């Protein structure tokens, strides 16, 4: 009897093809600019999430995976993440499946796009970096991003970055930092939820500039818990919520609403969502003394970007920069 032998390369190839087909089922074409169309993904039966910079005109055409064409309108956008939400006429958009596990460096992924009527396109790579926060060239602030060595072909913006099971780990864009990046899918989904519910994404603002620093043994002892790092406050904006609460340069921020903060990302995560206008408690070390202060979270304003770029498609179109805020990237916090 001839022994069956499963070639591992064939098995891998089949698995990747199945993953691509699964992700393709919810990847659509978004035709909203005069040049090459882009891609999008189904967020709900009548909603498509795509990259904001690919929307350059009012007339938007969405082509579903089965070839049916629909008209769409952009109902809201978030320049900080280069994401836009479209409402599609007559609904029936397949919804993208998202991965349950957090993306990891070294993970095999496929970048998908559907920029033409010829069908889905794919590019293989690995996640090379998981980073953030990131200051975008026009003053926005991206909480987290993925970088991959998968080739982002023309029209891949708005399409999904999927794992080996065909579930999305990110949304691809080339309109943020001048290089292709992916917005982590959980962040993208939170943005889409906020856009669908409120028409905007509100981000909290404290008015401090920080950097992560190690805590000395005496400082850890003052906290009464094991914590290796905190955020050293190196600047406080005049009149900001932090200034009004009494925070000052030299303080080390160690907790926000009872949650330890050791890296900038820890704080950024806490300032995302329904927090604007709320009273919160922050814990700081002043020398080796532990203090708790209360403050009212302000709202970080990024509307200036839309107001000062009076053309569609975002600030990259035309490469005109009217002004930039006078502070560095971490003033956004």
Question: Closest by alpha carbon to 163, among 130, 124, 120?
Answer: 124
User: 301 and 107 in contact (C-beta within 8 Å)?
Assistant: no
Q: Is 168 helix (H, G, I), strand (E, B) or coil?
A: strand
Q: Who's near 180: CB < 8 A, 6+ residues apart?
A: 148, 152, 156, 172, 173, 174
The Cα 240–Cα 66 span in angstroms is 52
Neighbours of 66 (CB within 10 A): 8
Beta strands in 19-156 (DSSP E): 27-31, 38-44, 47-51, 60-63, 69-78, 83-88, 108-113, 121-131, 134-135, 141-142, 145-148
The Cα 74–Cα 76 span in angstroms is 6
Question: Closest by alpha carbon to 83, among 203, 166, 189?
Answer: 189
Cα–Cα distances in Å, from 209 out to 225, 272, 273, 302, 313? Answer: 25, 17, 20, 17, 31
Question: Closest by alpha carbon to 179, among 134, 143, 139?
Answer: 134
Catalytic positions: 53, 82, 157
Cα–Cα distances in Å, from 305 out to 77, 246, 271, 314? Answer: 12, 30, 20, 9
Residue 71 pairs with which residues in a beta bridge? 61
């Amino acid at each position: 009897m001839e022994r069956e032998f499963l070639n591992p390369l064939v098995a891998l190839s089949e698995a990747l093809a199945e993953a691509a087909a699964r992700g393709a089922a919810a990847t659509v074409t978004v035709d909203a600019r005069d040049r090459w169309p882009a891609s999008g993904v189904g967020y709900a039966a009548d909603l498509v999430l795509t990259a904001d910079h690919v929307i350059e005109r009012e007339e938007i055409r969405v082509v579903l995976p089965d070839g049916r064409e629909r008209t769409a309108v952009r109902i809201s956008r978030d320049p900080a993440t280069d994401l836009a939400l479209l409402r599609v006429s007559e609904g029936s958009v397949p919804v993208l499946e998202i991965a349950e596990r957090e993306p990891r460096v070294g993970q095999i992924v496929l970048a998908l796009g559907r920029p033409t009527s010829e069908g889905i396109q794919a590019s293989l790579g690995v996640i090379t970096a998981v980073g953030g926060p990131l200051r975008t060239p026009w003053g926005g602030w991206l909480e987290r991003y993925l970088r991959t060595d998968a080739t982002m072909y023309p029209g891949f913006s708005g399409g999904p970055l999927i794992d080996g099971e065909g579930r999305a780990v990110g949304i691809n864009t080339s309109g943020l930092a001048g290089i292709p990046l992916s917005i982590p899918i959980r962040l993208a989904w939170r943005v889409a939820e906020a856009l669908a519910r409120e028409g905007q994404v509100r981000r909290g603002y404290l008015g401090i500039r920080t950097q992560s620093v190690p805590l000395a043994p005496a400082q850890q002892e003052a906290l009464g818990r094991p914590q290796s790092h905190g955020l050293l406050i190196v600047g406080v904006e005049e009149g900001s919520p932090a200034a009004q609460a009494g925070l000052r340069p030299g303080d080390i921020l160690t907790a926000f609403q009872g949650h330890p903060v050791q890296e900038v990302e820890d704080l950024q995560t806490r300032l995302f969502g329904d927090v604007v206008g709320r009273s919160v408690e922050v814990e700081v070390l002043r020398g080796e003394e532990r203090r708790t202060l209360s403050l009212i979270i302000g709202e970080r304003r990024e509307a200036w970007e839309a107001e000062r770029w009076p053309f569609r498609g975002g600030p990259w179109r035309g490469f005109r920069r009217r002004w930039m805020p006078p502070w560095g990237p971490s003033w956004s916090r």
